[in-house]
Every structure is written in structure tokens, then in C-alpha cells.
A and B are shown apart, each in its own frame.
Chain A
């Protein structure tokens, strides 16, 4: 068979648009997931038993089913929820790209929750007592004392999760969203150039992920807090 790598150059603008969406999805999901994940972690560690149970239930549910199934769930669920909130007559057309962003924020929140929980628990209890002794409220002690340290301790793990998330966003392919893989797959099928396109995609991902993971490794040895 003959390989025609020219197809990559021809479709580069389209692939670039897909890649931008992948980056946008990864970034939004990471920030949103970190925000809600931290809230979930606080809920899991809360003294209010009900909150702790609900948060634990949500996290365990998300972590025990495949991401693809979660994507399908939200793909059909989100329009109905939006319709319920807005009171519209029929479910709105959400588009796969927008649904995917909501899905990944909700899904990643469960994973970031576990990371932040470990981070919070890595802070000695004395710090909480010290914060309370200074007269800080719960919110203040979390925001000013505990979370900044927990976050710092967990930076390498958070970045590793970011790499996993970057790879996982490719699964939006199943709802036909045009991310980097989606764009490549569409060109591949249109031009009958599956070999070239998929090899190219694999190369791009492996270069990016390898580079970032090496950077994380170096960072890890640099920011390790000496006890």
C-alpha cells in the first residue's frame, strides 16, 4: 500500500480547530473539575454526615462506571435538565461540544475530589486547630491555611490527572463531537486515509503527553516539601 502523508497537510486547518477544542475542553474541565472537586472534598470531610454521604455516593458512582457511559448519560440527560429549568416546551438543541464540557466537569470533579481529599488529609490536624485558635472561621481557615497547602502538595498529582484528562477527552468521539481525534477521524473516513491520520494523531498525543509528564517529574523533585 502507498502512504500519502500529504493528507495531513491538506487538512491541517481543520485538525487545528479540533485540537483547539480538545485544549479548550481539557482546560475548562480541569478548572471546573478542580473547583467542584474541592467543594466535594470539603463535603466528604464535612462533619455533617448527610453531606459526607451524598458526596461519597456521587464520587463512588462516577468512579465505578465507564467514562463512555457517563458521556452517554449526560448527552441525553443535560437537554432534559435544561428544559426542566427553563420550562421550555421541547428539549433544547445543546450540541455535542457543549454537552461534553458539562459532562467532563461533572466527571472530573469526582477524580479531583479524591486528589484534594488526600491533599487536605496530608495537612497536620494541628494546622486546623491553630487556625481556629487564631479566631478564623471554618471558611477562612480552609481558604487561607489548609487549601493553599493541600493544593501545593498535590500539584504533581493534579498535573498527572490533567494528562489523563487530556487523553480522555478523545472519548467525545462517541457523541460525534469534533475534537482532535474526531476531526482526524472525519478526514480519515472522508479521504480513506485511516493509517496516516491515526498514526499522526498518535504521534501528536505521545509527544505532548511525554513532554508534559517529563516536566511533571522534574517539578515533583523540585517542589517536594521537606519534612
Chain B
């Protein structure tokens, strides 16, 4: 293949910027991590609530939770990103007035974390629901027999176990979220993949930039995996297989 590798390109200066290309990539990593972290908080909070609601006995709440999951699961993430960034401000005039005033970066960041947060919340909700439903009904009854209110049963009996059970699927969901954050480049957010392509376009050293981005994603994914494994080990309840070693 006719391709001239030049790994020194990362230490070249960006024309007219006074910065180096490696700094461009590092800035990209920062955005990728910031978007993923904020979206993860939203996703975990909403996903837990929606997933828990689906296991309650109130038919309206269950329907609401089901609809939530279906809506976010059946529209491509890219289209959802466009809906939050381009369509939402048009439909909500106060939001539009605000968006026009702020820095475009802020608007992109907010749209991205709301979009990724809600999308991931639907997926986490399904896992939380599965986690709660995997517990034997005896646990719920035992809680009620002790005189706990439904809220207390969830708070002290069901959820503490369910959350431990869903840690492994939550791990893969977190890694999906980090990968999905790259879709924010379509609304102009300068995260890692965006920066890799930009660097390729400036220097024509596409493959060096993509290799660097690939390696960084692998490192981030492995780190997230380790962190979740540590949490799983630290929170394991002795005597249960779920939340075991690794």
C-alpha cells in the first residue's frame, strides 16, 4: 500500500495555532470523557427510576415506563441527536432564545448529554427491571411481612440486591455510552473522533490520527471495565454468585 507513515505528526505545530496536534487529541479526549460522564449520571438516575417504575403495580406508571423505553430504543441515536440539537429549540421558543445567546459549544454539549443520557437511560431501565424481576418474589413478601411500606421494600430489600445483579450489564452499557458519545460529532462537538478526523484532514496523516484514537478508545474502555469490576467486587454480598470475582 502506498501510504507514508509519519508518527512525528503529533508533535508538529498546527498552522497558525501555536498548538501541537497531540494537544488537539487530548482536548478531544476531555470532551469525550466529559460528555460520557455527564450522560452516564443522567442515564443511571433516570434509568433506575424508570426501571423501578416498570416493576410496580400501577398500570399507568408501567405504561409510562414502557413507552419511555420504546421511544428511545426505536429511533436511531443519530436522529435523536438531531432532534435534541436542531428540532427541540424550534419547538420550545424559550429554549431557542437561550440557545442563540450561549456559546455554540455549550449548546452542543447540553444537547449531547441530554440525548445520550436519555437514550442510555432506556437501556439501563430494562436492565434494572430485569434485575428486580430476577429476585424471588419471596423477598418482596418478606419485606411486606416485616411491615415495610412499598417504598421501603424497594429501598431496603429489592434495589440493593438488584443493583448488584445489574453491574455486569451496566458495565457494557457504560462502554457503549463512551462509544456512542462519538455520535456527538454530527452536531459539531469536538470530541475524540471529531479531532482525529480533523487532524487527518489538516495533515493527510489519517491513519496515524485514527490509530491514536483507536488506541485511546481501547484504553478508556479497559479502564471503565476495571473500574466497574472493582465496584462489583467491593459491593459483593458474601454468599451470592452475582457480584463474584473477575
Contact = CB atoms under 8 A, between A and B. Distances in A.
Interface string A170-197: 1101100000010001000000001100
B69 to A, nearest CB: 11
Interface string B1-20: 11100000000000000000
B188 to A, nearest CB: 12
Contacts of B83: 198-199, 202
B186 A173 contact: yes
Interface in A177-227: 181, 185, 194-195, 198-199, 201-202, 205-206, 209-210, 213
B104 to A, nearest CB: 16
Given A66-B180, A66-B193, A198-B82, A167 B207 contact: no
B64 to A, nearest CB: 16
Given A170-B78, A198-B79, A1 B90 contact: yes
Contacts of A199: 83, 87
B108 to A, nearest CB: 15
A171 B179 contact: no
Given A69-B214, A81-B1, A171 B75 contact: no
Q: From DSSP, what is the main secondary structure of chain B's interface residues? A: helix
B49 interface: no
Contact of A171 (B2, B78, B82, B217): B78
A174 B82 CA distance: 13
Nearest to B80: A202
A111 to B, nearest CB: 12
Contacts of A84: 1-2
Contacts of B175: 64
Interface centre among B76, B78, B207 (most CB of A within 10 A): B76
Interface centre among A66, A67, A167, A181 (most CB of B within 10 A): A66
A174 B197 CA distance: 11
Contact of B75 (A68, A83, A194, A206): A206
Interface of A: 1, 61, 64-69, 72-73, 76-77, 80-81, 83-84, 91, 167-168, 170-171, 173-174, 181, 185, 194-195, 198-199, 201-202, 205-206, 209-210, 213
* CB-based closest 8 A-B pairs: A66-B182, A209-B74, A167-B76, A66-B179, A206-B74, A170-B76, A194-B86, A84-B1
